Amino acid sequence: MSAPLLPELLDDQARHGPDELAVVGPDRSLTFAALQEEVAAVARGLRARGVGRGDLVGVLLPRTADVVVSVFGILAAGAAVVPVDASYPPDRIATMLADAAPAAVLADSSLTGRTALDPSRLCGLADVRVPSGDRPAPPLPSDLAYVLYTSGSTGKPKGIMIEHRSIANLYASHRDRMFAPATALVGAERLRVAHVAAFSFDASWDPLLWMLAGHTLHIVDEPTRRDPVALTAYLREQRIDFLETTPSYAEQLTAAGAFRPGEGHAPRVLAVGGEAVGKRLWEEFHTRRDMLVFNLYGPSEATVDAVMATFDEAPDPVIGTPVAGVTAYVLTPEGTVAAPGEPGELCLGGAGVGRGYLGLPDLTRERFVPDPFAGGERRMYRTGDIVVLGADGRLRYLDRADQQVKVRGYRVELGEIEAVAARDAAVARAVASVRRETFDGTPVLRCHVVPAPGARPDLEAVGGRLAEALPDYMVPTELDVIDEVPLTPNGKLDRARLAALPLSTLVAADPVAGDGDEAELPPRERLSRIAAGLLGRPVADDQDLFQAGGDSMTAARLVGAARSYGLEVSLEAVFECRTVEALAARVG
């Protein structure tokens, strides 16, 4: 018997707990009965507009309860959700929507200017509701549930297609392996679950699954979710029980005291995913017996989470064992199963494998291949991740086999950065890479460009082009011109030599690398050097660091760099002071 699909799960909650809170948004709250009623109205309205099975519907809305209504209204209509992040550059939004060709886009009037889509396909949520009438026929397990766009190596984002049966399988697994032990630890039937992921990020589906299990979903607004100090305060005020985020952001929240016992309410259950967990974070929570912490691994092509572990399972970081319904193979380059302890590529089979890439049959055939261990009748997804199976039966992540990297939990194809930079007429070739040797282990994107014959690239123009075309997490913070690309003896790109090249343009030195005399400098000058190193350019002492391009990650790195310079700076102080001048006065 197949697992219930998501619209059925919502109906079940509306029957069994109609008056229980389903959604708490910055704008309004909805019980399960009210949510079901609004979802049905949207589903009827979409069907009245001719939207049905096989159609795609975009969602371009601010972070309010309306996003949840829209997502489930689309699913109930039998169509598939295409989430669009309003913070993306307009060109990228236009590229995504042109590729998806949605039958409609549910959009807020304040955001419609972010897209050049035909106005006839844009509709406000209030306009699409039909309050009464027959409900549309439910979707089938093989129907598409959503299409999620991620970075693509060809220079344009690619859409990953996930079916209803795959996300339903993930719900069934999480219900048993995550939700049940979490409620047992907290000692409550219904937990308060914070939604902090961007809706264009596949991890955004996990909190929705918690809601379908009867828990209350809190939609955290945009400014709060990006600010670890403000988010920490929100977690306390709303008495949040569960939070899912990236390991990088979990470290910032830890620094802000979000999980510190004895300082007000703190979440008892945490999940991290989207990037590899560092040893420091693992050690922070490995011995915590008052918390349950999950490590969730999974490429978007395999439906959010494919492998999972808890931090108390091993003394060192592990990604664990497959979720229910998913099979994991560690394969050698020859395609044989690697022995325990032998590195190999992780390939995923079973219920979580997606349908493929929208409109890209060749790439689909390359990455979604016949599963030789299932008689060739089913497919498996080649992740490109190098892992090893330990003697304890748990998988450990080692590295990537290609150019894909993770920055702030988002997938970044270096080829897409290179393709955008190379569009400049003065650029013959661009090579992107990632520098991991920063003092706090934060990945830093860098891009080297080779001039076209007789030309000299304007790096500010190249940087501007990258910022206009790419999401902020994909824009390199280090940019320079090189005469030629370093190659290995067999003519391939020599990434080791590339990473060793000095950077001289648009970015200062690493904020902890100096001439040894920093301790003699006054705090203001030390902080000014750090800010310049992090932001890639000099910053006026009275300039707002966040308006100058900083974000929560920058703030966390500034705290670590300041300490290496002999300055005790807290994360709260960075967000409160916001300028070098005010921060120096606070330190003084």
Mean pLDDT confidence for 452-462: 86
Instruction: Give the 3-state secondary structure of residue 282.
Output: helix
Q: What integer pLDDT is reported at residue 53 of this predicted model? A: 92
Give residue 155's pLDDT.
67
Domains in the chain with CATH codes: 29-164 (3.40.50.980), 405-500 (3.30.300.30), 518-587 (1.10.1200.10)
The conformation of residue 51, written as its DSSP 8-state character, comes to -
Q: Residue 327 above 90 pLDDT?
A: yes
The pLDDT assigned to 446 comes to 84
- The pLDDT assigned to 573 comes to 84
Residues 445, 412: contact at Cβ < 8 Å? yes
Tokens of 26: 């910055």
Separation between Cα atoms, residue 216 and residue 472, nearest integer Å: 31
The pLDDT, as a whole number, for residue 492 is 61
Partnered with residue 106 across adjacent β-strands are 59, 123
Q: Which whole number is the average pLDDT over 288-305? A: 96
Residues contacting 231, CB < 8 A, separation 6+: 196, 220, 224, 225, 253, 256, 258
Pairwise CA distance, residues 307 & 27, whole Å: 35
Give whichever of 293-307, 410-424, 527-541 has the largest mean pLDDT: 293-307
Q: How far apart are CA 527 and CA 521, in angstroms?
A: 10
Question: d(Cα 273, Cα 280) in Å, to the nearest integer?
Answer: 15
Q: What is the predicted pLDDT for the residue at 488?
A: 63
Q: CA-CA distances (angstroms) from residue 553 to 1, 253, 438, 455?
A: 45, 11, 13, 36
Give pTM, 2 decimals: 0.79
SS3 144: strand
pLDDT at residue 523 is higher than 70: yes
pLDDT for position 146: 98
Decide if pLDDT at 351 tops 90. yes
| pLDDT at site 549 | 67
Other C-beta atoms lying within 10 Å of the C-beta of residue 492: 8
- Averaged over 188-211, what is the pLDDT? 96
At residue 116, the pLDDT reads: 62
> Which of 48 and 428 is assigned the larger pLDDT?
48
Q: What is the reported pLDDT for 514?
A: 45
Residue 437 pLDDT more than 90? Answer: no
- Tell me: pLDDT of 513 over 50: no
Top mean pLDDT of 122-131, 177-186, 476-485 is at: 177-186
C-beta separation of 158 from 357 below 8 A: yes
Which tops the pLDDT comparison, 5 or 497?
5
Better-scored residue on pLDDT, 511 or 297: 297
Q: Strand (E) positions, 128-189?
A: 144-150, 158-163
Output the six-digit token pair for 383. 């992740």
For residue 174, the model assigns a pLDDT of: 98
Q: What is the structure's pLDDT at 516?
A: 46
Instruction: Tell me what the mean pLDDT of segment 405-428 comes to.
Output: 82
Q: Band the pLDDT of 518: cuts 50, 70, 90.
A: low
Q: Which residue has the tokens 């979903």?
A: 217
User: Distance between CA atoms of 387 and 348, rounded to whole angstroms?
Assistant: 12
> What is the reported pLDDT for 560?
67
- Please give the pLDDT value at position 324: 97
Share of the chain above pLDDT 70, in %: 89
Q: How confident is the model at residue 552 (pLDDT cuts 50, 70, 90)?
A: low
Task: Work out the widest C-alpha separation in the chain, in whole angstroms.
Answer: 76
**Rounded distance, CA 307 to CA 323, Å?**
5
Any idea what the Cα angle at residue 190 is, between residues 261 and 163, rounded to 5°? 110
Instruction: List, for residues 208-222, the tens digit of each pLDDT value.
Output: 999 999 999 999 999
What is the band of 172 on the pLDDT scale with cuts at 50, 70, 90?
very high
Distance CA 518, CA 526 (A): 6
Segment among 111-120, 189-198, 549-558 with least mean pLDDT? 111-120
Evaluate the CA torsion angle 154, 157, 158, 160 in order and state its sign: positive
Contact between 450 and 485 under an 8 Å Cβ cutoff? The reply is: yes
| Residue 469 tokens, joined | 């075309």
| CB within 8 Å of 172: residues ≥ 6 apart | 3, 324, 325
| Residue 71 in tokens | 């997502």
Length of the chain: 588
Question: Average pLDDT in the 98-110 region?
Answer: 90
Q: What is the DSSP string of 410-473?
A: EEEEHHHHHHHHTTSTTEEEEEEEEE--STT---EEEEEEEEPTT----HHHHHHHHHHHS-GG
pLDDT at 503: 58
Position 505 pLDDT exceeds 50: no
Q: Which two tokens stand for residue 60?
A: 């371009």
Pick the most confident of 171-175, 277-281, 461-465, 545-549. Answer: 171-175
Q: Sorting pLDDT into bands at 50, 70 and 90, what band is 440?
A: very low
Token digits for 174? 């999480």
Please determine, for residue 404, whether its predicted confidence score (pLDDT) is greater than 60.
yes
420: phi then psi, degrees, rounded to nearest 5 = -70, -45
Distance CA 290, CA 394 (A): 24
The DSSP bridge pattern shows strands 80-83 and 56-60 to be parallel
Tracing tokens 């706090």 back to the chain, one arrives at 440
**400: enclosing H helix or E strand:** strand 395-400
Centroid of chain to Cα 537: 27
What is the per-residue pLDDT for 507?
35
Quote the pLDDT of residue 506.
Answer: 37
Structure tokens at 205: 């589906």
Stronger pLDDT, 321 or 483, i.e. the higher one? 321
Backbone CA torsion sign across 29, 31, 36, 38 = negative
* 329 CA to centre of own chain: 25
**Across residues 462-487, what is the average pLDDT?**
83
Q: What is the pLDDT of residue 459?
A: 86
Please give the structure tokens belonging to residue 447: 């891009």
pLDDT digits (tens, 9 = 90+) for 370-392: 999 987 679 999 999 999 999 99
pLDDT tens track for 239-286: 999 999 988 788 888 878 899 888 789 999 999 998 888 888 898 899
- The residue with greater pLDDT, 382 or 108, is 382
The mean-pLDDT minimum among 153-157, 360-364, 456-460 falls in 153-157
Mean pLDDT value of segment 121-144: 90
User: What stretch of H or E contains 59?
Assistant: strand 56-60
**Residue with tokens 């809305």, as numbered in its chain:** 61
Average pLDDT in the chain: 87
DSSP 391: T
pLDDT of residue 423: 87
Q: Where does the pLDDT of residue 397 fall: very low under 50, low under 70, confident under 90, or very high at 90 and above?
A: very high
- Asked if pLDDT for residue 291 goes beyond 60, the answer is yes
Is the model's pLDDT at 490 over the cut of 60?
no
In single-letter form, the type of residue at position 56 comes to: L
Res 306: pLDDT = 98
